[in-house]
Amino acid sequence: MSLWSRILIVSVLLIVCAVMASAAPEPLGYYRYPTAFGDQIVFTSEGDLWSAPLSGGIARRLTTAAGVENFALFSPDGKWLAFTGNYDGNVDVYMIPAEGGVPKRLTYHPALDYVAAWAPDGKIVFRSTRDGGPGIWKCYAVSHEGEYPEQIPVDEVGLITYEPNGDRVAYNRQVHQYMGYGWWKRYRGGDATDIWVGSTKTRDYKNVTNSARNETSPMWFGDRIYFMRDNDAPEGGHAQLPDSASARMNIWSIQPDGSDLKQHTFHSEWDARWPTLADGKIAYGLGADIWVFDIRSGQTRKVDVTFPSDMLQTRDKFISPDEYSDDMALNKDGKRLLLNARGELFTAPTERRGVIRHISHTPAAREKNGVFTPDGKQILAWSDLSGEEALYLFPADGVGEAKKLADGSAGWNFAPVISPDGKWAVYGDCRRALQLVDMATGKTVAVDSSEWEIRGYEWSPDSRYIVYSVKQGADDSGVNVIHIYDVTDKKAHEITDPLFTSYSPTWDPQGKWLYFISSRHMNPFSSDLDWSFVVLETNQIFGLALDTTTFSPYACNEDGQSPEAKKDEEKEDENKKDDEKKEEKVEVNIVWDGIQDRIVKLPVDPGNYGGLTAIEGKLYFFSSPTTGWLAGGGDDDSHSSTLKLFDIKTTKLSDVVSGVEGYVLSGDCKKIAVHKKDGFVVMDAGAAEVPEPDKDDQDAGLHLEDWIYDLDPQQEWTQIFNEAWRMHRDFYYDPNMHGVNWKWQRDRYGSLLNRIRTRDELNDLIAQLIGELTSGHNYAYGGDTQRGKSVGVGLLGVNVTRTNDGFYRIDRVLAGDRWDRGRTSPLTGVGMNVKTGEYLVAVNGVAVNTVPNYLALLNNQANRLVTISLNSTPSLDGARKLVVKPIGGEDELRYWDWVYGRMEYVRKNGGDDIAYVHLSDMGTSGMEQWMKEYYTQSGKKALIMDVRHNGGGNIAEWILSQLERSVWSWGVARNGNRYRKASSAFYGPMVALCNGGSGSDGETFSEGWKRLKLGPLAGTRTWGGWVGIRADKPLLDRGFLSQPEFTGWGKESTWLIEGPGVSPDVEVINHPKMVLQGLDEQLDWAINYLKDKMKNEPMKVPPMPPFPDKSPTGFRK
């Protein structure tokens, strides 16, 4: 072959290789939070910052922290990058050179610090809730040196931009979800974002957009303000949702006065997100990509990024599955424990250390609710191998393929239970039906239904009957009653009185009794605060004799012996005649007539019980302590469930173990497996306590120390995405999914799954998917995300000002909750005598003027003893020392400081006759606040109920019921004060305040207040999220996903609240300038209204009438 021929061949081969290389797909990532300057673009992917040419090309990694770095912003000169990171397990502001380098930490505070802008003076502006009121974001500026941040003179602000060469700013008062997650697209509630513009010198700010839409993320360039906006929603109403793709978030602009609205981008497939402005270019995310809008040219283009990552978080990894265990089961003889963890099935030997078998091997699917078949050869479990939940049979030895038995009757299904003879299985589904499965054919039929989900069911020993509890009755008046389904007769029987709630039924292994728990003990407890009552510990345990020949276990004959014991003795004598007699087969005989009359209450004191299971002669059940809402779990077992054992014959009650999360019995009822907080234990059934480990044989018993699992994150993420889609399909309150083509949305967002590189990115993708439903309470977060080790910053509970010489003047010591010394500043201890005007001069012997920010000296000092030095002058000379324990957060202190500030505001401007009550939520905190604030003020002449920034919960209807009560009489004791009936009912005019931060059950209160006509509702429109959730179905890696499930309508047959929120009777806006002056216009309106009512329409107490004269004529004085 000639030289030229060889050269030609080599050239052709090189061309072919080049063509093949160019045809290969370039590696792509999931890109978020971009910022552009010059020829460089920086973005977040895999939780790190990356840099790439703006023209497109290969990206390089700038940061490598274990946590997430985001919200990067180029400095105006392009030399620096400010960003939010959590290198030290805390979300703070950092800075690095634009080309990369060592990050410099600039802020030290346990609150979230998110980079928002660069100020004209070169400082970095960030938003934080560090010292605002409840749920109030403010902006602060921090220098390159990390000096103590200064607050920007704007009231409430989440996103901000500065006028070039001017003193004005444009900002959003709200921080809307479009900035981050987008889980509520086309939001139209009362917290929708507007743009405010004004001067930081005059502090006059004006709402220049003021529409029903979302105008978010303002960016000032030249003489225009650019921002993100969604479109196609009706300006006046809020009921109709946009139905076209043009409703996507796009870039728009206006003049600073709000005029001359223009649209600049026209994306229809994805929402534009996370816009940032630098160097005349707006970088933003779209789908999983980065786009740039060049303001000068008006051109929009995608930045093609090649992503040469090692994709570390997608690599297979080994985990210990025990912390992800969902459920468990024992085989018939209890020698093998089945564990369902991280969506996989495992079995472990229970008597000695041995091999832990991995049964399912389905990394792209999730198995749940596994149970052994009676012969122990197979495991029946739900699996979504086919894309939908179906019942599969897995070989119990882990060898061979799984076989599908039956498709699920609905999307989400509950645990299957197999009959003792192995012929049948039963399960409940999300459609509230009880399903019976033929184990031979897989044929499934619905045998009963309920007004709520049927989750607990049990087979009789002879496999003929299924016992379970169903919800009966409409609305909240319904109770749980126990049904028995006869497989032979194909009929369900009701066996408990519908006057009482009964649940947790379980069969006596001998087939004579059915035991259950019922709420029949009504022992009222009276409140210490008013004449109200609560009924606690209503549960009692009952036995039901199944036939008419069975005696009560506590009956006796003339000889004082139990008739049942006598019959048992006779049976034992018969059995002894044939030593080789086989085990007698149990046959359950049920006499339906009069069955409710054959109930015996067992001698167990009433309590909070659940999880009842019978073994021969004994009962296991859970008992939970009666604790108040404020009782925390902690690390001990004082507030957790205890597994109890009751001996029916001797009536002895034993505490087996505390801190129990679940337990199961073996098929022969001879072994019990208990899931405790610290692991699992298997022991003999009937044992009254957990046995101590065998010190002489360390291999004896159950051992899970070597239990590991090699998981494939990307396959897990695909399963999680699909299950999230199914959960919304199965539980979303509207079966029509608000008209959204739900399958199409799954396919559309699912097309981006191959670009996901971290669990955090998956959460973002799921949030985008479920956001298409346009609902509140639609959350996706958590799971197996990568986070840095948490390092707490200690706080002293003070407001300070940094002096010119670097010391800190104490402007205010936060009193916190006056009722609870545990919720006050560490500097309020008795004898400390810390006063306003003193100076903080040193921490642990280090002068605070030697560091830019004194909080850096308190890093990792939360809840540790620290020595601080205080002085009356900004000097170390003559300083006194105090040993204090800094706290890990000031939210509660600052909340109570805000509340007491409002109380004083009302007293100062309205006098002592007006009561003020603020509820931060409608949960534990809100109830505590109601108890503390209302009753001691209930005798005043007027009342302000403030639910602004109320985070919701479930107590609003109870609070309303208290406020709805009216006074109809008065009384007096001979030597006592006057009292009224109804007790603690308010007698006087009332006002309620709400705003866009009033959410969920806070909106229940607002709507109920209006409908019950308790008084005017003033403020601004509420949040608009009222479709409730329960969030009781964690994803396989413990990720949190909620499905908006519970909604409501009014008497007019119209949906309430969801979407627009609750409109106040009187709209009152707190204008920024007034807020900055310390005024509260909404509170002022309420005070003035009540003062006018008290003056012009006083509600006077009728004078006490003369005492009656009942003496006969001759006996009168």
> Can you tell me the distance from the alpha carbon of 646 to that of 628, in angstroms, rounded to the nearest whole number?
27
Q: Are 982 and 966 in contact (CB under 8 A)?
A: yes
Residue 371 has phi, psi (to 5 degrees) of -140, 150
What pLDDT, on a 0 to 100 scale, did the predictor assign at position 392? Answer: 98
* Structure token pair of residue 14: 């090189």
What pLDDT, on a 0 to 100 scale, did the predictor assign at position 10? Answer: 39
Give the helix/strand (H/E) hosting 933: helix 924-933
* Structure token pair of residue 418: 């197999």
* Structure token pair of residue 904: 């004083």
Give me the torsion for CA of 150, 152, 156, 159, rounded to 10°: -110
What pLDDT, on a 0 to 100 scale, did the predictor assign at position 176? Answer: 64
What pLDDT, on a 0 to 100 scale, did the predictor assign at position 559? Answer: 63
Pairing of strands 990-994, 1017-1019: parallel
Q: Render pLDDT for 380-434 as a digit per residue (tens, 0 to 9).
A: 999 999 999 999 999 999 999 999 999 998 899 999 999 999 999 999 999 999 9
| Residues of the chain predicted below pLDDT 50 | 1-24, 178-181, 233-243, 579-581, 633-635
| Contacts (Cβ under 8 Å, ≥6 apart) of 630 | 924, 928
Delimiting residues of CATH 3.90.226.10 domain(s) in the chain: 911-1026+1061-1096
Number of helices (H), then strands (E), belonging to the chain: the values are 11, 72
Q: What percent of the chain has pLDDT over 90?
A: 82
| Contacts (Cβ under 8 Å, ≥6 apart) of 161 | 117, 169, 170, 171, 218, 219, 220, 225, 277
> Can you tell me the distance from the alpha carbon of 179 to that of 159, in angstroms, rounded to the nearest whole number?
9
What pLDDT, on a 0 to 100 scale, did the predictor assign at position 574? Answer: 58
Give the helix/strand (H/E) hosting 15: helix 3-23
> Can you tell me the distance from the alpha carbon of 1053 to that of 259, in angstroms, rounded to the nearest whole number?
40
Q: Render pLDDT for 490-499 as a digit per residue (tens, 0 to 9).
A: 999 999 999 9
User: Model pTM greater than 0.75?
Assistant: yes
253 DSSP 8-state letter = E
763 DSSP 8-state letter = H
Angle at 660 between CA 658 and CA 663, to 5 degrees: 130
Residue 406 has phi, psi (to 5 degrees) of -160, 145
| Cross-strand pairs, 84 | 70, 93
User: If DSSP codes are grouped into helix, strand and coil, which group holds residue 84?
Assistant: strand
Half-sphere exposure of 909 (CA within 13 A, CB side): 20
Pairing of strands 866-871, 846-847: unpaired
Delimiting residues of CATH 2.130.10.10 domain(s) in the chain: 463-468+475-575+585-627+638-650
Delimiting residues of CATH 2.120.10.30 domain(s) in the chain: 318-449
User: If DSSP codes are grouped into helix, strand and coil, which group holds residue 501?
Assistant: strand
* Structure token pair of residue 636: 């001990």
The CATH number of domain 713-782 is 3.30.2350.10? no
What pLDDT, on a 0 to 100 scale, did the predictor assign at position 149? Answer: 98
Give me the torsion for CA of 31, 36, 40, 44, rounded to 10°: -30
Cis preceding-peptide flag for 406 (omega within 30 of 0): no
Burial class (CB in 10 A: 0-12, 13-18, 19+), 717: buried
End-to-end CA distance of the chain: 147
- Owner of token pair 């209890």: 334
* Structure token pair of residue 800: 């300070």
Half-sphere exposure of 727 (CA within 13 A, CB side): 26
Longest distance between any two alpha carbons in the chain, whole Å: 152
Q: Are 502 and 469 in contact (CB under 8 A)?
A: yes
Q: Render pLDDT for 528-553 as a digit per residue (tens, 0 to 9).
A: 888 888 899 999 999 999 999 999 99
Query: Top-level CATH class of 798-888?
Result: mainly beta
> Can you tell me the distance from the alpha carbon of 191 to that of 343, in angstroms, rounded to the nearest whole number?
39
* Structure token pair of residue 655: 């505490």
For the structural domain made of 911-1026+1061-1096, what CATH number should be given? 3.90.226.10
> Can you tell me the distance from the alpha carbon of 1023 to that of 9, in angstroms, rounded to the nearest whole number?
71
CATH architecture for the domain at 318-449: 6 Propeller (2.120)
Q: Are 1048 and 1028 in contact (CB under 8 A)?
A: no
> Can you tell me the distance from the alpha carbon of 317 to that of 535, in angstroms, rounded to the nearest whole number?
50
Pairing of strands 990-994, 942-946: parallel
Q: Where are the beta strands (DSSP E) in 845-989?
A: 846-847, 866-871, 880-884, 914-918, 942-946, 969-972, 978-981
What pLDDT, on a 0 to 100 scale, did the predictor assign at position 550? Answer: 92
> Can you tell me the distance from the alpha carbon of 1004 to that of 802, in angstroms, rounded to the nearest whole number?
44
What pLDDT, on a 0 to 100 scale, did the predictor assign at position 426? Answer: 98
> Can you tell me the distance from the alpha carbon of 382 to that of 327, in angstroms, rounded to the nearest whole number?
12
- The sign of the torsion formed by the CA atoms of 1067, 1070, 1071, 1074 equals positive
| Cross-strand pairs, 459 | 466
Q: How many angstroms from the chain centroid is the CA of residue 128?
A: 21
| Cross-strand pairs, 382 | 368, 391
CA R_g for the chain: 34
* Structure token pair of residue 10: 């080599």
| Strands laid side by side in the 281-286 sheet | 272-278, 281-286, 289-294, 299-303
Give me the torsion for CA of 202, 205, 206, 211, rounded to 10°: 170
Q: How many CB atoms lie within 10 A of CB 376?
A: 17
For the structural domain made of 32-309, what CATH number should be given? 2.120.10.60
CATH architecture for the domain at 463-468+475-575+585-627+638-650: 7 Propeller (2.130)
Pairing of strands 660-665, 671-676: antiparallel
H helices present in 1049-1112, as ranges: 1072-1076, 1081-1096
Crossing angle for the helix pair 713-731 and 742-750, to the nearest 10 degrees: 160
673 DSSP 8-state letter = E
Q: How many CB atoms lie within 10 A of CB 286?
A: 22
Helix, strand, coil percentages (3-state) for the chain, rounded to 5, are: 15, 30, 50
* Structure token pair of residue 400: 């061979």
Delimiting residues of CATH 2.30.42.10 domain(s) in the chain: 798-888
| Contacts (Cβ under 8 Å, ≥6 apart) of 1116 | 1109
What pLDDT, on a 0 to 100 scale, did the predictor assign at position 530? Answer: 85
- Owner of token pair 């513009």: 197
